[in-house]
Amino acid sequence: MLRIEDAMTRKKAVEFIGGVPAGTVNAYGKWITAVKAIADSCAVTGRLFSQSEMCDFLTVAAKGVDPKRTGSKAVNDATFHIYVDIMENYNKLNNAVKIHYPRVIIDTISALDRGVDTRGEAVGVYAIDRYYQERKQSAPMEDPSLIYTAKAFNETTRPPVSRSQPVTFNDELVVSLMHITGRTRKDLESSLAALQSIDVKKIKDLSSNYKRLQKYTKLANTAGFKKEVEKDLGRRLTDNQLQHAVNSIRKANSYIENVLDGKFVPHGTHGINHVKHNLEYGYQLMGLMEPRKRRTA
């Protein structure tokens, strides 16, 4: 249907689909799973779509949406707006965005159909437009060779945590998180105790810098954001780094909640959650979170 004749791209798509767990297919459906494999294979082989081919890809991907949902005005409007955006803006994009565009499309279609993208990130139907725009912005920051296949999103049980010693956290962190999340002390203590120590440390870093987080959140959509962040850091950031930083700031509260709930499930051949990884990189750029491995002089 997509008229992709490139032998390497087709071969890669078949390889990727062969490695998808049955639970993922059951959760997302065969159509979205297959189109996702094609999107990944195009990114890996560097296969760029023309504007008309991208419109065809959207049409084919949208065929995977449940017919009961295609009658929804919100779903139809979202699909139409993506089509218009492709017609008006796709040819203006650089190749770093275009190579990931099929992934952006299938993630958005999956969110429309299942309420969750193919990386396991929950997305409400009325937040689709914002998700789509943010997904386009974050696309150039991804490594095309990273193939991710989310676990079935209805797997709600946490994997057992393996640790040699119990995780420790102080009362100050709990009180701070009570203020940030509105959760009870008992709930927070239970959530923190279930985390790996490295994640507790990351939560603590953001909690300690919450005033800066709030300041940056207010400035995220203004020209003053760049000036304020660079003033605090004492150094300049590239445009790519600033995009990363803005995206992480916008999702700070969501990041904290998802870490506490254990929703960032590692997946794919690399064993990491790419949404979590990308957000943490943004916090590290701004000095809000300490990198896992510090270089010594």
Its pTM stands at: 0.53
So what's the pLDDT on residue 11?
Answer: 92
- Integer Cα distance of 224 and 67 in angstroms: 45
Task: For 50-101, write each residue's pLDDT tens digit.
Answer: 999 999 999 999 888 876 665 567 777 888 899 999 999 999 999 988 999 9
Q: Which residues of the chain have pLDDT under 50?
A: 149-165, 268-271, 293-297
So what's the pLDDT on residue 158?
Answer: 39
So what's the pLDDT on residue 268?
Answer: 46
Domain ranges of the chain: 7-141, 171-285
Helix (H/G/I), strand (E/B), else coil: 267? strand
Q: Which two tokens stand for residue 40?
A: 């990944």
Task: Name every residue whose Cβ is closer than 8 Å to that of residue 123 and which is 6 or more positions away in sequence.
Answer: 111, 115, 116, 117, 131
